[in-house]
Amino acid sequence: MSISLQLYLLFAKISLFTFGGGYAMIPLFQNELVTVNGFLTDAEFANMVALAQMTPGPVGLNAATYVGFNQAGIIGAAAGTLGLMTPSFILAVLAAIFVKVFKDNPTMQAVLSGVRPAVLGLIAAAVIFFADTSVFSAPLRNMWTAGASFGICWPGLLIFAITIAMELSGKIHMLWTLLVAGALGALLLA
Amino acid sequence: MIIIMTTPLTDHHQRIWTLFRVFFGISAVALGGGLAMLPIMKREFVDKRHWLSNDDMIDTVAVMQSLPGIISINMAALIGYRVAGLAGASAAAIAVALPPFITIIVIAAAVQGLLQSPTMGRIFHGVRSAICALILLSAIKLAKQILVSRFAVILAVIGFVVMVFLPINAIWIIVLSALAGYIYQTISRFRQQATPGSAS
Give pLDDT tens digits for B111-142. 666 777 888 889 989 999 999 999 899 899 88
In the listed set B90, B117, B144, which residue is the last one of a domain according to the structure? Answer: B117
B136 in the same domain as B181: yes
Cβ-Cβ pairs closer than 8 A, A with B, add up to 370
Q: Helix, strand, or coil here: A20?
A: coil
Give helix A154-169 / helix A174-188 axis angle, nearest 10°. 160
The answer to whether residues A127 and B161 touch, using CB atoms and an 8 Å cutoff, is: no
> Per the domain annotation, does A79 fall within a domain?
yes
Residue A7's domain comprises 1-101
Q: What's the domain count of chain B?
A: 2
> Per the domain annotation, does A67 fall within a domain?
yes
> Per the domain annotation, does A181 fall within a domain?
no
B46 in the same domain as B8: yes
Q: Give A3 to chain B, closest Cα distance, Å.
A: 18
Q: What's the domain count of chain A?
A: 1
Measured between beta carbons, which residues in chain B are less than 8 angstroms from residue A60?
A: 70
B182 in the same domain as B91: no
> Per the domain annotation, does B164 fall within a domain?
yes
Contact between A56 and B30 using a beta-carbon 8 Å cutoff: yes
CB proximity under 8 Å: A 87-116 to B:
87-89, 91-93, 95-97, 99, 102-116
Spatial distance between the Cα atoms of A64 and A76, rounded to a whole number of angstroms: 9
In the listed set B92, B117, B142, which residue is the last one of a domain according to the structure? Answer: B117
> Per the domain annotation, does A47 fall within a domain?
yes
Contact between B66 and A57 using a beta-carbon 8 Å cutoff: no
Structure confidence by residue, pLDDT tens digits, A72-94? 999 999 999 999 999 999 999 99
Tell me what the mean pLDDT of segment B67-86 comes to.
Answer: 90
> Per the domain annotation, does B125 fall within a domain?
no
> Per the domain annotation, does B36 fall within a domain?
yes
> Per the domain annotation, does B182 fall within a domain?
yes
> Per the domain annotation, does B126 fall within a domain?
no
B58 in the same domain as B137: no
Spatial distance between the Cα atoms of B128 and A157, rounded to a whole number of angstroms: 11
Average pLDDT score, chain A:
88
> Per the domain annotation, does A109 fall within a domain?
no
Nearest to A189 among B104, B126, B169 (CB): B126
In the listed set B117, B149, B170, which residue is the last one of a domain according to the structure? Answer: B117
B141 in the same domain as B65: no
Residue A37 has pLDDT above 80, yes or no: yes
Q: What is the largest CA-CA distance in chain B?
A: 69
ipTM at complex level:
0.86
Residue B5's domain comprises 1-117
> Per the domain annotation, does A59 fall within a domain?
yes
> Per the domain annotation, does A133 fall within a domain?
no
The answer to whether residues B124 and A182 touch, using CB atoms and an 8 Å cutoff, is: yes
Nearest to B158 among A50, A57, A121 (CB): A121
